[in-house]
Amino acid sequence: MHPYIGKLAVLYPGQVDIQPFEGLAARLSVPLYQSLEAASVAETFFLSWREGGLKLLDKSMLNKGGMQVEIEPRPGEQRSWPAPKQDALAHALGRKTRNVIDATTGWGQDSLHIFRMGYQLRCLERSPIMFELLTDGFQRLAQLDWMQNLSLSPPELVAGNAIELLANLEEAPDCIYLDPMFPPKRKKSALAKKSLTVLRDLLGDDEDKTLLFDAAMLATAKKVVVKCPDDAEPLGGKPSDSFTSKLVRYDVYLK
Ligand SMILES: C[S@@+](CC[C@H](N)C(=O)[O-])C[C@H]1O[C@@H](n2cnc3c(N)ncnc32)[C@H](O)[C@@H]1O
């Protein structure tokens, strides 16, 4: 069955070129609606370009902004490039790591943090919706002054299931980073942010995360880092090392 039928539509707001909206609806095989009123239909999620970015909206957000891949650093993250490698994620990736594959790119927030710290990064994402949002976000990133002044290109973005993609790499990366969807946490945390709640509503939990972990261990040259809620069971058994920050844990598995 088509995964998005009855769930997702593309909204065309009028007054701009309709072609990108038609192209998006065709790529995702979902309906294109030409007015917000028409959105009183079965679908609960919508994609639309608003204020220069591709936004994901649920019904409660139709008259508000919507969610996009944020290309500005999160609070506490450095703006400079390369940003200092000093937080828990940097410690988990390790001093000797040069190249990283983020196998679960999602909203790209960890990816962009890894990218800003100067790692060479490739991003994998299997959800066609998230892939479209990421493509738009990385295009906006490429336009930023600091990216152009430093002649930087956005990270490479690859669509597909990482379990298959990792099995067919030409070269093993130093580190594979995993942040699959875990069931909702007991405690309230940054992980319960609206953007991740919507992601879970839309995509469900990543039930195959153990298979993904096994694929990552086979494919990495040196290590796998798994991000999870700090009270979650480690995905791959006892890790070699763990770094905790703000209700999140980074488990490090050495090859
Ligand atoms: C919790 S989100 C990741 C959030 C991300 N770390 C961020 O900072 O925005 C998990 C994402 O991983 C993707 N994902 C899960 N398993 C995957 C797989 N086997 N291959 C590719 N993508 C996968 C899901 O589609 C989802 O978008």
Confidence class of residue 24 from pLDDT cuts 50, 70 and 90? very high
Does the structural domain 8-61 have CATH classification 1.10.155?
no
Partners of 125 in the β-ladder:
159
pTM over 0.85: yes
Say if ligand 1 is within 6 A of residue 202 CB.
no
Hey, whose CA ends up nearest to atom 4 of ligand 1?
106
Task: Report the interhelical angle of 128-143 vs 19-28 (nearest 10°).
Answer: 140
Tell which atom from ligand 1 comes closest to the C-alpha of 180.
10
58, pLDDT greater than 90: no
Q: Decide: 227 and 178 in contact? Cβ < 8 Å.
A: yes
Hey, whose CA ends up nearest to atom 2 of ligand 1?
106
For the chain, give the number of residues.
255
Per-domain residue ranges of the chain: 8-61, 88-254
pLDDT in tens, 138-171: 999 999 999 999 999 999 999 999 999 999 999 9
Tell which atom from ligand 1 comes closest to the C-alpha of 160.
21
13, pLDDT greater than 60: yes
With the most atoms of ligand 1 within 8 angstroms of its CB, the residue from 206, 228, 235, 248 to mutate is: 206
Tell which atom from ligand 1 comes closest to the C-alpha of 165.
20
pLDDT in tens, 177-214: 999 998 776 555 544 578 888 888 888 888 899 999 99
Confidence class of residue 69 from pLDDT cuts 50, 70 and 90? very high
Backbone phi, psi, residue 73, to 5°: -60, 145
Say if ligand 1 is within 6 A of residue 38 CB.
no
**How many angstroms separate the CA atoms of 74 and 232, rounded?**
24
Q: State both tokens at 63.
A: 């008259």
With the most atoms of ligand 1 within 8 angstroms of its CB, the residue from 68, 105, 182 to mutate is: 105
Helix, strand and coil in the chain, % to nearest 5 = 30, 20, 45
| CATH superfamily membership of 88-254 | Vaccinia Virus protein VP39 (3.40.50.150)
Say if ligand 1 is within 6 A of residue 189 CB.
no
Say if ligand 1 is within 6 A of residue 249 CB.
no
Q: Which of 29-33, 64-68, 110-114, 143-147 has the lowest mean pLDDT?
A: 64-68
